[in-house]
Amino acid sequence: MLTLTSIFLLILQNEHIFNLYKHHQNRLSMDRREAVKSVAFLLGGALSATTIGVFLDSCNSPSTKTNGKLFSADQELMLAEAADIIIPTTTSPGAKAAGVGPWIAMMIKECYPEDAQTAFTKGLEDLEKQSKDAYKKSYLEITVAQRQELMNKLREETIANTKIDQEKLDKEYQDLNQKKSEKENPGQAMLPKDKPKTAPNFFAILRDLTLLGYFTSEIGATKAYDYVHIPGRYDGCVDLKPGQRVWA
């Protein structure tokens, strides 16, 4: 049975995309962005509200572009290492090998709004501070095991805070919807654009872009999954053998 990720990866079975990757890197950047935008909605709740909002508002909006350099050289290296903790190298290359770090930096700078950029850069600074507080070393200097500890802690904090924030937003939405209905249009629900928004979260955005960047890369599509360069007939439901990778 096709999973959402499998549907997501079907788009990548086009030889033209990989030719663009080899011969026209700048053009590929735009093609990948369009591919990500087209299928992000298929992942539903797997993505944060901030990332879904970026694709709804269009990542080509001039208002979201930042002049100058958003990340320092060390922060760009941190992005690559942090993404590699989320998708490490196992029997297939990880996020770092797939070039996900630079892709995340590009997406944050060119596609995300200012409040998300601010939250994300602050998250990187906090991650560096936590590394120095816990291990007396920069994030780039600590071991993989120590990076995993920091990432697990960050993940748990994000889950807990997201739950609290969502409960507050649900209550706020109910209150606002009731007031709006009573005042303007009784019985009419609040439009999505009028709903309270969640604050951007560093780990959630990092996770989103790591997954999207990896599985829209050539390595993610061809190494992490079983890939047939020239597929034959289409089978909608294929049984997998024990230990077999999911088909791209």
**What percentage of the chain carries pLDDT values higher than 70?**
61
- Structural domain count of the chain: 1
List pLDDT tens digits, range 84-141. 999 999 888 999 999 999 999 999 998 899 999 999 999 999 999 999 999 999 999 9
Predicted confidence at residue 224, as pLDDT, reads: 72
Whether 115 is covered by a domain: the verdict is yes
Whether 62 is covered by a domain: the verdict is yes
Whether 232 is covered by a domain: the verdict is no
- Closest by CA to 139, choosing from 106, 111, 101, 109, is 101
Whether 231 is covered by a domain: the verdict is no
The DSSP secondary structure of 116-167, one letter per residue, reads: HHHHHHHHHHHHHHHHHHHHSS-TTTS-HHHHHHHHHHHHHHHHHHHHHHHH
Domain that holds residue 217: 4-222
154 or 233, greater pLDDT: 154
Whether 207 is covered by a domain: the verdict is yes
Whether 70 is covered by a domain: the verdict is yes
pLDDT reading at 236 higher than 80: no
Whether 191 is covered by a domain: the verdict is yes
